[in-house]
Every structure is written in C-alpha cells, then in structure tokens.
Structure 1
C-alpha cells in the first residue's frame, strides 16, 4: 500500500468549481476510502495498492464521471513530495517573495517551460526533477510576474499545475500521516 498526493489542475480558478467535500466523496466512492482534501485548490492525499500511474488514471476517470470535465491530475508518491519540499532552495515563508513549485506529468512541457523561464532576466528558478520546477515570485505580484505570465500560456497551462511551497509542506505532512499499510481499497 502506498501513500500518494494527487494535484488537480484548473479547479476553483476559472470555470470548474468543485467543493472539496464532493471531491472527497467521489474519490471515496471510487475505491479510495481514505481520500482527504487539503485547502480548496485541488490537493488530495490517499493510499492505494495501485501504482502512481494507475492512481492517476482512476482519479481522472472518477473526476470526469463525477464532475463532467476533462480532468487532468499529477500524482506523486508521498516520499517524492517530501523530496521535492526538501530540495526546494527557496524559503517557505518570506516577506518579499513566494516560493512555488510547478508540477507536470509531461517532462517535455516542463523542459520547455524551464527554458522559457531561464531566458527571463532576473528570474529565479531551479529544476527539482523531471516533474517539478521551483520558482520565486514577488509578494503581491505573482500573477503579474513574467514567469507566471509565461506559465499561463495554453501550451503550458494545459499540462502543469502550480502550488506554493507552504501548500506542498501541508500536503507532505498529510500524506505522511496516511496509514500506508493496512488501508483498504484500490
């Protein structure tokens, strides 16, 4: 039995509104009885005997069926979330900047986004692995930051999802608390 973090892309920000209780209930009804949501931005922790690829497939199928949209998620093993948090070179709480990690299951898209970010003047970013890119934005100016504007382009937005480092720390802690052994379900 493994513990996983599931990150939904594009919910509760521009058209697709899902209540976290409904999301939790749908996933529980699809064979993930210990599914728990964190915050309202589409963060789920759950345990499963399936591998990460199968958890992704099952979650997307569940979301499409329950909420009627073309769902896309990133699924990471709980240990990988902890590794990404530890590898992030930026602070989790700073008065002048916010630290973000952009996640993707499509390495080629993240490669292209990384290159686009690297071409910006005075933009701080660091690749954390094939699925993650850490970056900084000024407090109060995240959406206006040049990198945020690049990452919002359709070719990147369709297959990436971004969380601030504080959120990933909460997800890491919640995933670590899951009963990875002895849980039932998929």
Structure 2
C-alpha cells in the first residue's frame, strides 16, 4: 500500500463545481475507501495498492463516471510531495510574494512552460523542482496579473497543468504523511 496525493485540475472554477463530500463518496464507491479531501480546490490524499499511474487512471475514471466531465489529475506519491515542498526555494509566508508550484503529468508541457517562464527574464523568478513540478513567485495581490500567470493560462499549458500555492502543498504533504503513518505503508 502506498500513500498518494491527487491534485485535480479545474474544479470549482470555470463551471465544474464538485462538493468535496460528493467527491469523497464517488472515490469511496470506486475503491478509494480512505480518500480525504483538503480545502475545496481539488486536493485528495489516499492510500492504494496501485502505483501512481494506476491511481491516476482509476481516479480519472471515477470522476468521469460520477461527475460527467473530462477529468484530469496529477498523482504523486506522498514522499514526492514532501520532496517538492522541501526543494521549493521560495517562502510559504512572505507578505510581499506568493509562492506557487505548478504540477503536470506531461513533462514535455512543463518543459515548454519552464522555457516560456525563463524567457520572461529577470523580473520573473521560477525554479524547476523536477520533471513534474515548477515553483514560481508572484507579487502579493497580483498573481493573476503576473507575466508568468498570463503565460501559464494559455490553453496549451492550462489543459495539462494545475497550480497550488506552497501553503496548500504543505497541508497536502502533512495530510499524506499522516495517512502513511496510519498504515499506508502496510
């Protein structure tokens, strides 16, 4: 059994509204009995005997069946979430900036987004955390207006990435570690 964090793209924004209780019920009906949701932005921790690719496939299938939309998620082992949080060079509690981590299962898309961000020059700060993750900074109160946010919201990137602030990633890390400690390693 492994512990995983699952990050849903595009729910509770842009017309796909899913109540977390309904999401938990759908996941439990699909064999993810210990699934726990965190916040309302589509963060789930769970344990499974499947590998990450299997969790992704079954999770997306459950969402499509229960909610009737073309679901897309990123699945990371609990330990990998902890590594990404630890590797992020930006603060989680700075008053002047917000730290974000953009995730993708499509590494080529993230490579392209990374290059597009690098092309923004010195005014933009980002750091590649691994093949599936890119950390970046935005000014407090100006995230959506930041040059990188505008680049990442282009259709080719938006369809294959999902972004969380660092504080959310820390909450997900802690919840996934708690599941693992409770027996996910068994």
Question: What TM-score, normalized to structure 2?
Answer: 0.97
TM-align CA RMSD = 0.6
Which stretches of structure 1, 4 residues or longer, exceed 3 Å deviation after superposition? none
Partner of 1:10: 10
Partner of 2:159: 158
CA distance in 2, matches of 1:36, 1:76: 15
Matches within 5 A, 1:1-186: 1-121=1-121, 122-178=123-179, 179-182=183-186
- Unpaired segments of 5 or more residues in structure 1? none
| 1:125-171 deviation per Cα after TM superposition (whole angstroms, max 9, x unaligned) | 00000000000000000001010000000000000000000000000
CA distance in 2, matches of 1:46, 1:82: 15
CA distance in 1, matches of 2:10, 2:134: 18
| Superposition deviation, residue 181 in structure 1 | 3.6
SS of 2:184's partner is coil
CA distance in 1, matches of 2:74, 2:155: 17
| Superposition deviation, residue 40 in structure 1 | 0.3
CA distance in 1, matches of 2:84, 2:12: 25
User: How many residues in Structure 1 have an aligned counterpart in Structure 2?
Assistant: 182
Question: What TM-score, normalized to structure 1?
Answer: 0.97
